[in-house]
Amino acid sequence: MLEDGLSYPVRGDWVGRILIGGGLAFLSALLLPAILLTGYWVRVLERTVAGDENPPEFTEWGDLFVKGLAGTAIGLAYAIVPTVIYSVVVFGLIGVGVGLGGDGGGLIAGIGLMTVFASIPLMLIIYYIVPAGLTNYAREGSISAAFDMSAIKPVLLSTEYLLAALFPMAVAVVLMIVNSALILTVVGALLVPFVGFYANVAIFRMFGHAFATATTTGTSRSTSTPTTF
């Protein structure tokens, strides 16, 4: 999976694709390029689960924009809802503790402060779930499919998807090292967005491949006829 993901971005006419993608990444602080990039990630997922071995090109920009808007909305929904609930719990506990005062109030406030550390696993959970939601959206073409837990849950529990989540972490470490070296020079700093685009294409390829493998395996198991004795 890792080798496939890393080789995926440079298949076909990769130079023009990397130049366009890196240019959008360079301008991603602006809203439109960021949305177009998100649309491209969704398109990578869509092509991958459909069995296409080559990366998509930057064509049909209107469709790319629509997919980007949908992908952004899905990501925000997955991130905002649990974050809001988490924030209400944390600040609620701190507020109650301060209001009560005394040892009991201090204990409650302390618990509230300790739950701040829970933000780390919360972010990891969001990171783990969002690509699966985006892939199911890409596969079905419906935003509601991104939140269809009956379809997504078996994927999240699969070994293939777990590896797809772990490999990008390794890629991110390597990317951080490479970027740290590149920013030492002006020319190198200009290459950072292009390297980042390459890495993200590889990462979304791995997630899409894992989703396709997990769903295919699950379908095969569910349709197989049990042996009777």
Q: What is the pLDDT of residues 57-72, one digit of tens each?
A: 999 999 999 999 999 9
- The pLDDT tens digits for 94-111 are 455 445 544 444 444 455
Residue 7 burial by CB count (10 A; 0-12/13-18/19+): exposed, middle or buried?
exposed
The pLDDT value given to residue 220 = 46
pLDDT average, residue stretch 158-169:
84
pTM of the model: 0.80
Dist. CA 123–CA 79, nearest whole Å: 8
Dist. CA 196–CA 103, nearest whole Å: 50
The pLDDT value given to residue 101 = 47
The pLDDT value given to residue 187 = 79
pLDDT average, residue stretch 140-167:
89
